[in-house]
Structure 1
Amino acid sequence: MSKKKGLSLEEKRTRMMEIFFETKDVFQLKDIEKIAPKTKGIAPMTVKDVLQSLVDDNMVDCERVGTSNYYWSFPSKALNARNHKLEELQKQLSEAKQRKETLQKSIEKAKVGREDTDERGSLLKELQALREERTQLQTDLEKYRDCDPEVIAEMKKSNIVAKDAVSRWTDNVFAIKSWTKKKFSFDDSRINKAFGIPDDFDYMD
């Protein structure tokens, strides 16, 4: 024997709305939790969630009085809510149709001049060949970049700056050696050995 299928959420919502429409009364949660399972077959554990979903969708009104919440919904409110929802959906549908028409026109406009003809096919091949040629030329250009006069001039400037810096450090080394000689009476070979200075250390030409 097959197991009886439970109610879907939408079926529970519909049945719960029937409670309000049929009675036209105001209820507390505890009242709905008693009525819904008995008269509409809604599982007791789901009553609160179903009721809250109707409140969230503005199908059922809820007002707190003292420490209790009261719930009600009259047919006129449900009708107004449905009409409002219908108007909103119709507006969205209309906007979607307009966007579709605009896009369709843009597509048709973009197709003009792009028909698959022999001439267009030939031009596309030529364009691809030119793009490949440009890529190759850019690669070749990079190879010969070191011969660029501007690059060479920039390198010369950098060399001058570097040479000046080397000269300054050479000055500093000779100054330290001179001070060390006077302070400790060391000779050149001993100072060079102590500080790892080559014997032929001198200014660059």
Structure 2
Amino acid sequence: MSKRKGVSAEEKRIRMLQLFHEKKDFFQLKELEKIAPKEKGIVVQSVKEIVQNLVDDNLVRSEKIGTSVYFWSFPSDAKHAKKLKLAELGKNIGATKSKLEKSLKSISQLEAGREDNEEREKLLEQNDKLSKERDRLQIEIKKYCGHDPEVYRKKENEIEIAKEAANRWTDNIFSVKSWCKNKFNVEDSILDKQFGIPSELDYVD
């Protein structure tokens, strides 16, 4: 003879709720402990726990009158409880959606940060080229000292243009560093190390 399968906790909840809806009456716990085993096959030891679970889920209502506690649930109560549950789920979905939007925004900011890294690399590369060009022109100036004044003035003008360009790029680098420092709360030394910016980088006089 096969062993009889026990009733699951969820099935007990369903049966207990059916009992309330069928009777449409008010019960004390001791009354439910007598009726539920006979009519719904729920063992008496689990009646109290099941009823309390239903109360916690707003499917069964309870009220203390005098020294006694009464329990009841009508079909309309179940409908109201479902509405409350749906409202709660809607609220949770809204909160989850808000968290998701914040996460997506953070990801977008990180992506933008990567683009900023590429821009910084370009700025540093351009600044390095201009610095080398400035040094080259200064060497040529020394060669022409005491020779043709017109050639000297031309080279001197080229140096001035190179200095202005180098200072513009240096200013751009400082602006990007300042933005990163304020945005991500990172120290100058860390930014210099991470992006290979020389600590002695400064405007050309």
For residue 128 of structure 1, report the CA deviation from its aligned partner.
5.7
Correspondences of 1:4-153 after superposition (within 5 Å): 4-114=4-114, 127=193
- Determine the C-alpha separation between the residues in 2 that align with 1:104 and 1:113: 14
Amino acid at match of 1:99: K
In structure 1, C-alpha distance between the alignment counterparts of 2:113 and 2:46, rounded to whole Å: 62
TM-score (norm 2): 0.53
Q: CA deviation at 1:20?
A: 0.8
Q: Using the alignment, how far apart are the partners of 1:55 and 1:30 within structure 2?
A: 16
Q: Which runs of 4+ in 1 moved over 4 A?
A: none
* Runs of 5+ consecutive residues of structure 2 not aligned to the other structure: 126-189, 200-205
Between the aligned residues of both structures, percent identity stands at 50
Distance 1:17 1:65 in 2: 22
Report Cα offsets for 1:125-180 as digits up to 9, x if no partner.
Answer: x83697xxx9xxxxxxxxxxxxxxxxxxxxxxxxxxxxxxxxxxxxxxxxxxxxxx
Q: When the two structures are aligned, how many residues end up with a matched partner?
A: 133
Kindly state the Cα deviation for residue 29 of structure 1 after the two structures are TM-superposed. Answer: 1.5
- Show structure 1 runs of 5+ residues with no match: 135-205
How far the C-alpha of 1:97 sits from its partner, in A, is 1.0
Distance 1:11 1:100 in 2: 36
- RMSD of the TM alignment (CA)? 3.5
After TM superposition, list the pairs within 5 Å mapping 1:149-168 onto structure 2.
Answer: none
Q: Distance in 2 between matches of 1:129 and 1:102?
A: 28
**Alpha-carbon distance in 2 for matches of 1:73, 1:113:** 58
State the alpha-carbon separation in 1 of the partners of residues 104 and 53 from structure 2: 39
Larger radius of gyration: 1
Q: Distance in 2 between matches of 1:67 and 1:112?
A: 67
Q: Give the partner amino acid of 2:5.
A: K
Q: Which letter maps to 1:127? A: K
Greater relative CO (CA pairs within 8 A, separation 6+): 2
**1:102: Cα distance to partner?**
2.3
In 2: Cα distance, 1:41 partner to 1:89 partner: 32
Cα distance in 1 for residues equivalent to 2:2 and 2:90: 42
